[in-house]
Amino acid sequence: MSTPTIKVGDTIPQGTFSYVPYTDELDDPLKCGSPVKLNTDEWKGKKVVLLSVPGAFTPGCHIHHLPPFLAKYDELKAKGVDVIAVVAANDAFVMSGWGRAEGLKDKILALTDPNATWSASMGLSVDLSHVGFGTRTSRYAMIINDLKVEYIGAEPAGGITVSGADAVLEKL
C-alpha cells in the first residue's frame, strides 16, 4: 500500500460507485439485480462509515473484517451514522453476491471502486499483481461527515486493527 494522501479534515474526492441495491428478490441466489450509480455527492450532510477491503470473499475480508461491522450495525447507527458501506475493486455483481452471502441486506451498501480509481486518488490502493489480483483498494476505514474526513484508519500491511469495527466505533 502507498501512503495515504488524504488526511483528517480533507474533503473526499468526488467519485461514483456502482452497486446492486438489495431487494427481497435477491434472496434468490439465481437473481442478479441491476447495478445503479451512487455519487459521493449523495453523502453531503450525512455521516458515513466507509470500510474498504482488498477483495470480496477473501479470507481476511470475508471472515474478519466485514462481519464485525454488520454485528455492530446497531451501535454504529446509534452513534449517528447515516450510511455504512463497504467498497472493493470487485465488480458490482460480485459485491452484491458477497453482500448476500454476508447477510448485509439493506444495512451495508456493497460498492465497487473499479480498478481502485477512487481509492488510488487518495493514496489508498495496493498493487496485488503478484498474486494475480491487479490493483485493489487498500484495507482501510473512514468516517466521513458532510464529505469531510473525520477519521481514517489505513492498515499498513496485514491485520485488522485501525480499520476494524471497534476502532471505528471508538472514533465516532
Query: Is 7 inside any structural domain?
Result: no
Into how many domains does the chain fold? 1
In CATH, what number is assigned to the domain containing residue 65? 3.40.30.10
Mean of pLDDT values over 114-128:
84
Instruction: With a cut of 60, say whether residue 2 has pLDDT above it.
Output: no
The C-alpha atoms of residue 88 and residue 49 are separated, in whole angstroms, by: 14
Instruction: With a cut of 60, say whether residue 86 has pLDDT above it.
Output: yes
Predicted pLDDT of residue 157: 74
Query: Is 94 inside any structural domain?
Result: yes
Query: Is 2 inside any structural domain?
Result: no
Instruction: With a cut of 70, say whether residue 132 has pLDDT above it.
Output: no
Query: Is 3 inside any structural domain?
Result: no
Query: Is 163 inside any structural domain?
Result: yes
Catalytic residues: 61
- pLDDT band of 76, cuts 50, 70, 90: very high
Query: Is 8 inside any structural domain?
Result: no
Q: List the grid coordinates of 146.
A: 458532510
Predicted pLDDT of residue 10: 97
Residue with more model confidence, 107 or 2: 107
Judge whether 106 and 128 are in contact, CB under 8 Å.
no
**Continuous segment of H or E residues that includes residue 19:** strand 16-19
Query: Is 61 inside any structural domain?
Result: yes
Query: Is 73 inside any structural domain?
Result: yes
Q: Is 6 helix (H, G, I), strand (E, B) or coil?
A: coil
**CA neighbor of 76 nearest in space, from 52, 51, 99, 93:** 51
Domain holding 165, by residue range, is: 16-171
**CA neighbor of 160 nearest in space, from 147, 145, 132, 141:** 141
